[in-house]
Amino acid sequence: MSEERAPAVMPETQAPWPARDGLRITGVRAIVTAPEGLPLVVVRVDTSDPGLYGFGCATFTQRFHAVVAAVDQHVGPMLIGRHPADIEDITRMVHLSSYWRGGPVLNSALSGVDQALWDIAGKRAGMPVYELLGGRVRAAADTYLHASGATIEQALADAQQILDAGYRNVRLQAGGPGLGTYGAPGTPGGYPDAPYPDGWDVQQYLRDTPKLFAAAREVLGETPNLMHDVHHRLTVKQAVALARALEPYRLFFLEDPIPLELYDRLPELRAAAPMPIAVGEQVASVADAARLVAGGGVDLLRLHISAIGGLTPARKLVALCELTGVGTAWHAPADVSPIGAACNVALDVSSPAFSIQEGHLWPDPVREVFPGTLDPRNGYLYPNDAPGWGIEVDEKAAAKYPAVTHLHERWSARVRRPDGGIEAP
């Protein structure tokens, strides 16, 4: 009796072609730390060369436990034995492998892997990542910071401090009765006769926001670029009304005026708005982002790069933006790790599509955990010239700042109107 032989099956982790050398991925794991209070997730990819490893940003603050599980239990094991240079093939394999693909959890896990592989590529080449993308078309990325306050006066005082520090661009948010607007403190109990006295009243917001920018132009002058984030809380008609009311104050952009669920109406809104419309931070699919650009609904694309899968898909969107006249303004507040911020800046300085970059002033604990964190100078972010991202992760320091299920995860579901209805976060 002839011996039965199992069919030759290539392991999923083995590439369908021989690599040119013996370098292989030997380990993939997630690292979670919260040096500023918000959970940050990074992925470390190790190789068979003990001194060669890479880091990538996989931060999805509100669901960081799910991202860690995806990295450690699902995505990581698929990469063992692969050559780290095969970035395009590896990222496509990970993207397609789950059958029900996409979404911010899986894409954040993919982003961490993808950015770590680009970090390794830069280290192997002895080049910063932006040089792998074609080199600089500008020296640095012009940035903006957030100014806010419970009152218009407090918000403008905060903005003046930012301008005095050398910045030319400010996002303005002022509070109001109840919770105020997103990104600014409000007045507790602002609607005492309402079922939910700490609620957010859209009509109050529509009345007060033009007053904020009228005062801003009077106090701050004509030169600064001013922005405002609605944070998805208006209907299309309300957003058009706000945009037209703000026309005299020449906003650099109006951010996220309508909810993600209404993005099919962005072309209508964009056509009616007198200032550029910036959207995209809630988009969790490169295909959805591409349709957003190609469909004419956006002037500035504000993706959270971790949510779409990392640098590899983002650089393709950058090319699409360049060809269609859309600018980039990547999402980068405190819930983007310094590695994710470095990825943003690598794209900023290497692409003609760049418009402006959201900035964040990292406190000392973050710099302790992430040596090499980018430091703005005179309102500009310069990329590191060290190979890869030029940023390390001190895991002993990271362990000093453990992440917990942060209150931020529950806060967004509690933003209500005075009548008690939940507002879009």
When mean pLDDT is compared across 58-62, 196-200, 287-291, 378-382, the lowest value belongs to 196-200
Mean pLDDT, residues 159-172: 98
Residue 187: the pLDDT is 87
Residue 425: the pLDDT is 65
- Does 277 score more than 60 pLDDT? yes
Share of the chain above pLDDT 70, in %: 93
Q: How far apart are CA 229 and CA 425, in angstroms?
A: 12
- Does 424 score more than 80 pLDDT? no
Residue 1: the pLDDT is 41
**Each residue of 313-370: pLDDT tens digit?**
999 999 999 999 999 999 999 999 999 999 999 999 999 999 999 999 999 999 999 9
Mean pLDDT, residues 272-278: 98
CA angle 304, 132, 319 (to 5 degrees): 50
- Does 420 score more than 90 pLDDT? no
Residue 7: the pLDDT is 39
Q: How far apart are CA 325 and CA 293, in angstroms?
A: 9
Residue 330: the pLDDT is 98
Residue 14: the pLDDT is 62
Residue 8: the pLDDT is 39
Which residues have CB under 8 Å from 25's CB, separation 6+? Answer: 45, 46, 47, 48, 79, 80, 81, 82, 83, 84
Nearest one of 344, 352, 414 to 382, comparing CA atoms: 344
Whether 284 and 266 have beta carbons less than 8 Å apart is answered as no
Mean pLDDT, residues 73-89: 96
**Each residue of 99-144: pLDDT tens digit?**
898 899 999 999 999 999 999 999 999 999 999 999 999 999 999 9
Which residues have CB under 8 Å from 384's CB, separation 6+? Answer: 128, 342, 372, 374, 390, 391
Residue type, 374: L
- Does 2 score more than 70 pLDDT? no
DSSP for 59-76, please give it: --GGGHHHHHHIIIIIIH
Provide the mean pLDDT of the chain. Answer: 93
Residue 361: the pLDDT is 96
- Cα-to-chain-centroid distance, residue 412: 17
183 backbone dihedrals φ, ψ, rounded to 5°: 85, 5
Mean pLDDT, residues 12-37: 86
Q: Is residue 273 exposed (0-12), middle (13-18) or buried (19+ Cβ within 10 Å)?
A: buried
Q: Which residues are catalytic?
A: 182, 231
Can you give the pTM of this predicted structure? 0.94
Mean pLDDT, residues 268-285: 97
Residue 20: the pLDDT is 80
Partner residues linked to 42 by β-bridges: 31, 57
**Each residue of 40-77: pLDDT tens digit?**
999 999 999 999 999 999 999 999 999 999 999 999 99
Which residues have CB under 8 Å from 221's CB, separation 6+? Answer: none
Distances (CA, A) of 165 to 152, 202, 256, 292, 379: 20, 33, 27, 35, 8
Q: How far apart are CA 230 and CA 228, in angstroms?
A: 7
Nearest one of 28, 74, 63, 31 to 47, comparing CA atoms: 28
94 backbone dihedrals φ, ψ, rounded to 5°: -65, -40
Residue 9: the pLDDT is 38
